[in-house]
Amino acid sequence: MAGAGGGGFMFPRTATGRSSLVPPPPWHYSGTMLTVEFRTDPAAVAELLPPPLALAEEDPGAVAVIWADWQSCSDDFSELLDPVRAQYLETFVVIRCSYRGETYSRCPYIWVDRDFAMVRGHHQGYPKKLGELFVTRPVNVGLAGPRLQPGGRFGATCSASGRRLIDATFTITGTASTAGFVNGHPMLHHRVFPAIESDGTDSLHELVTMRGYDAEVGPCYAGEATIAFYESPVEELTRLAPQEMIGGYWQEVGTNWRAGTTLER
């Protein structure tokens, strides 16, 4: 990519490529995911699906909100010894949609707490903002945390610009084979960037799909969940108000990412 302002995967591009905000793929991820699933008014999901995307045929109002507590690294694994460059939390909303007869997962809203993860997500079509994210961790000793067994209780919160946006709780009642169904399909994202001319057009406007490879999961714990959305002048989460809770899940997850596929431009 020497013509793109120098070498390196992401900006800043330089002669050495060392300054790139995001190292080149593949990227490796290990972490935990707390998933809360519920049903909202399908019209609120439809609002987030520009044509030709359409509501999923089955359970079209299903929504997942996920707190993922990650370590990630590039293929040289150097970030794992300087963990400020490896660790981040993200809270994201997942809906489903139908496109060319297939069902996809899609992330309309997401907050993250580190810059490299934010821009890496932009590359993948995740509309990441910065937030302050917290999720209870399970423990094996002491009184200050849930055990991974029935009765274990977790809290999870998402704030941005000093405003609490989401609170959730999860209580383990047993195990499950999979951590819900909303986030279980390939992702279908728009990658957009407005034209510098500010003329209402986009310079980058792609519909892409992707999924990880060599995923590895630990035991999946399932249970009861609650969730609440709060108002902000620059957010719209309350439009996705829960009408019926589905449940919650907690699972260790490892995955890897190398590339996606452009479907439309």
Hey, which residues between 148 and 177 contact a copy of itself (CB under 8 A)?
153-157, 159, 161-164, 167, 169
CB of 221 to a copy of itself, least distance (A): 14
**By CB under 8 A, is residue 199 in contact with a copy of itself?**
yes
Q: Which stretch binds a copy of itself (CB under 8 A): 21-29, 54-62, 175-183, 242-250?
A: 21-29
Interface mask (CB under 8 A) for a copy of itself, residues 205-244, using x and -? xx-x-x-----xxx--------------xxxx--------
CB of 142 to a copy of itself, least distance (A): 2
Smaller CB distance to a copy of itself: residue 89 or 246?
A: 89
Q: Of the candidates 30, 103, 173, 175, which one interacts with a copy of itself according to CB under 8 A? A: 30
CB of 174 to a copy of itself, least distance (A): 20
CA distance 208 to 124: 8
CA distance 38 to 222: 14
CB of 260 to a copy of itself, least distance (A): 4
Q: Which stretch binds a copy of itself (CB under 8 A): 4-12, 58-66, 178-186, 242-250?
A: 4-12
Whether the CB-CB separation of 166 and 149 falls below 8 Å is answered with: no
Rule CB under 8 A: which of 95-124 touch a copy of itself? 108-109, 114-115, 118-119, 122-124
Q: Which stretch binds a copy of itself (CB under 8 A): 55-63, 177-185, 190-198, 241-249?
A: 190-198
Rule CB under 8 A: which of 36-95 touch a copy of itself? 47-48, 50-51, 70-73, 77-78, 80-87
CB of 186 to a copy of itself, least distance (A): 13
Per-residue 3-state assignment (H helix, E strand, C coil) for the chain: CHHHCCECCCCCCECCCCCCCCCCCCEEEEEEEEEEEEECCHHHHHCCCCCCCECCCCCCCEEEEEEEEEEEECCCCHHHHCHHHCEEEEEEEEEEEEECCEEEEEEEEEEECCHHHHHHHHHHCCCEEECEEEECCCCCCCCCCCCCCCCCEEEEEEEECCEEEEEEEEEEEEEECCCCCCCCCCEEEEEEEECCCCCCCEEEEEEEEECCEEEEEEEEEEEEEEEEECCCCCCCHHHHCCCEEEEEEEEEEEEEECCEEEEEC
Q: Of the candidates 60, 61, 146, 223, which one interacts with a copy of itself according to CB under 8 A? A: 146
